[in-house]
């Protein structure tokens, strides 16, 4: 083992192994961050899309129709599902904004047709903008 070429081979092998370990660890962390960011983006987009679809379904009701209808209920259920994903991935500030939007969307469903529903829709739109702002902060945008 005293031959300089053997020492060089050992040094190259150790260096190669260290490089492999560092690359694997750093790459794994980067991949995990990318996955988390993508999952968070999908949850935000799904939550907001369901919110807009819910508001659209409620706007589409005839002026005197009080029952929110099956489509609005489906969109509300989708919001709840997406909020559960946000609970796993996002900060407390995002969750507070999301829960407030969910409450505002429920208020839209429960509001009487006419001016009451219009006001509830405006309140939901403001809450939606707060979710968008919280999402941007969460994602560093």
Q: For 64-90, how does the pLDDT look when each residue is reduced to its tens digit (9 = 90+)?
A: 666 777 888 999 999 999 999 898 888
Q: Is residue 67 part of a domain?
A: yes
Q: Is residue 21 part of a domain?
A: no
Give the chain's mean pLDDT: 84
The count of domains in the chain is 1
State the pLDDT at residue 36: 74
* CATH code assigned at 46: 1.20.120
Domain that holds residue 57: 37-138
Residue 112: left (phi > 0), alpha (psi -120 to 50), or beta? beta
Distance, CA of 48 to CA of 52 (rounded, Å): 6
Q: Greater confidence, 31 or 129?
A: 129
Is residue 98 a part of any domain in this protein? Answer: yes
Residue 6 lies in a domain: no
Q: Is residue 23 situated within a structural domain? A: no
What pLDDT, on the 0 to 100 scale, is given for residue 7?
76
* More confidently predicted of 81 and 16: 81
Give dist(CA 129, CA 66) in Å, integer: 26
Give the whole-angstrom CA distance, residue 72 versus residue 52. 10
Nearest 10 degrees: Cα torsion 88, 91, 95, 96: 160
In a domain, 19, yes or no: no
């Amino acid at each position: 083992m005293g031959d300089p070429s053997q020492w060089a081979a050992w040094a190259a092998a150790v260096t190669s192994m260290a490089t492999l370990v560092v690359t694997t660890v750093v790459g794994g962390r980067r991949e995990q961050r990318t996955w988390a960011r993508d999952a968070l983006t999908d949850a935000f987009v799904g939550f907001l899309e369901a919110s807009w679809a819910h508001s659209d379904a409620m706007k589409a009701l005839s002026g005197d129709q009080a029952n929110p209808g099956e489509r609005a209920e489906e969109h509300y259920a989708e919001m709840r599902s997406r909020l559960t994903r946000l609970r796993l991935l996002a900060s407390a500030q995002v969750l507070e904004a999301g829960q407030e939007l969910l409450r505002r969307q429920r208020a839209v469903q429960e509001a009487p047709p006419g001016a009451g529903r219009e006001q509830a829709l405006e309140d939901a739109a403001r809450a939606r903008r707060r979710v968008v702002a919280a999402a941007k902060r969460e994602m560093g945008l």
